Structure 1
Amino acid sequence: MRFIDAEVTTLDLIRHGEPVGGRMLRGTTDHPLSERGWQQMQCATDELLIEGTPPWDAIVTSPLARCREFALWLGETHDLPVTVDPRLAEMDLGAWEGKTHAEVRALEQAMDLQAALWADPSRTSPPGGESVEAFDKRVGAAWQELVETPPGRHLLVVCHLFVTNAMLRQVLEQPLSRILAFDLPYAATCRLRHERHALGGTSLVEWIGR
């Protein structure tokens, strides 16, 4: 803790494990976890336990099956309350939904929009999908609620790659052009800390991609 007598809220973010169907631009396409995905999530959360006991006061999850089903199971296993927050759903990828990277590249004739999205998301959105600005706004609203109401909790947030990036952007105050700066593997975890103190509030990163 950097500020004396600060009220600390800790958020452990975990990206979902491998879904059924393998790697693709899934977005809001609602595939459940594969057997391997379940194992990845169990191993990752087991590493965060303290002598077999979870450090969390509650779990907050995306509504999509690859997050929600594991979150509900984990909550039941450890007797933790689980909240489903629609704002934590992955970015809607429009015409790219459910397609592999190769399939998306084959759709583009004059310009590789997929490469443009990775290069600068502030200038490109998936055709027919959610704008990066709208996505950032809804995840930012969820972030503010997580750290403010009520403060002092330790939460596990089960979410997605783009959502994790958007949460990290809230802390690092990156420009929107760098909202997709972190390419984290399935079941990767991050720990963020928000300290409320006499001078206001300070958000910090403890670790990324564990």
Structure 2
Amino acid sequence: MLHLIRHGAVEGAGRLYGHSDATPVPEGLIACRARAQGLAAAQLIASDLSRARIAGEGIAQDRGLALTIDPRWRELDFGAWEGQDPADLGAAIHPFWDDPQANPPPGGESWGAMQARVAQALAAIHEDALVIAHAGPIRAALGLLLGLSYRQTWAFDLPYAARISLRLWADGAQVTGLAA
């Protein structure tokens, strides 16, 4: 099983934090820990950014598991847009939303570059795992594992502390998803 949990709410929620280290709010940390209860996992992994790492540390304490910090699970680098409210960017953000590979944020990371590092992170998982990450990398992982396009990965809501659980077969023949 692969369990993917998006980090909980942060101060200034809704901004493009990307590689910025936004501060998690206590309610967000509590929500992540609650989502992890009862999940079978031999490995616990978190992004190195505090909004995911601190939630991972709490879950590690709850479960008695070692926490592996993996920066490949970081959010997309939004470059010049880091910390901005998308509404303040006006029409400049529309090409990015339409095609983030062809139109990455100014000075930021393309969708394909993020997807490549997430693919490396997925390849490093060899047992049941729980990953605390960000919306972008979770969507990238779903795209890679389920063969979804970028647009398809945005067809569902992924709120703070959302959990998606996938059963993966070693031969890659079948993937089933369970969302909570």
Task: Name the CA shift for 1:180/1:141 in 2 (closer, same or farther; >3 Å).
Answer: farther
Assess if the C-alpha contact under 8 Å between 1:139 and 1:166 holds in 2.
Answer: yes
Report how many aligned residue pairs link the two structures. 180
Task: Name the CA shift for 1:119/1:181 in 2 (closer, same or farther; >3 Å).
Answer: farther
Q: Which residue of 2 aligns with 1:5?
A: none
Q: Output the amino acid matched with 1:183.
A: D
Assess if the C-alpha contact under 8 Å between 1:165 and 1:181 holds in 2.
Answer: no
Post-superposition shift, 1:63? 0.4
Q: Output the amino acid matched with 2:3.
A: D
Unpaired runs of 5+ in structure 2?
Answer: none
Paired residues for 1:58-207 under 5 Å: 58-105=43-90, 112-146=91-125, 150=126, 153-176=127-150, 178=152, 180-196=154-170, 200-207=171-178
Q: Which residue of 2 aligns with 1:7?
A: none
Measure, in 1, the Cα distance between the counterparts of 2:118 and 2:88: 28
Task: Name the CA shift for 1:141/1:27 in 2 (closer, same or farther; >3 Å).
Answer: same
Q: TM-score, normalised by structure 2?
A: 0.91
CA deviation string 1:115-170 (max 9, x = no partner): 22222223211111011121111111111222xxx3xx221100000010000011
CA deviation string 1:77-126 (max 9, x = no partner): 22101101111111100111011122222xxxxxx232222222232111
CA deviation string 1:185-204 (max 9, x = no partner): 000000112212xxx33351
Q: TM-score, normalised by structure 1?
A: 0.79
Measure, in 2, the Cα distance between the counterparts of 1:141 and 1:25: 24
For the pair 1:24 / 2:15, whether they are aligned, the reply is yes
Task: Name the CA shift for 1:203/1:67 in 2 (closer, same or farther; >3 Å).
Answer: farther
Unpaired runs of 5+ in structure 1?
Answer: 1-9, 106-111
RMSD of equivalent CA atoms: 1.8
Q: Which residue of 2 aligns with 1:40?
A: 31
Q: Output the amino acid matched with 1:114.
A: I
Identity between Structure 1 and Structure 2 (%): 32
Measure, in 1, the Cα distance between the counterparts of 2:121 and 2:46: 11
Q: Secondary structure at the match of 2:173?
A: strand
4+ long deviations beyond 3 Å? 175-183
Q: Output the amino acid matched with 1:11.
A: L
Post-superposition shift, 1:179? 5.2
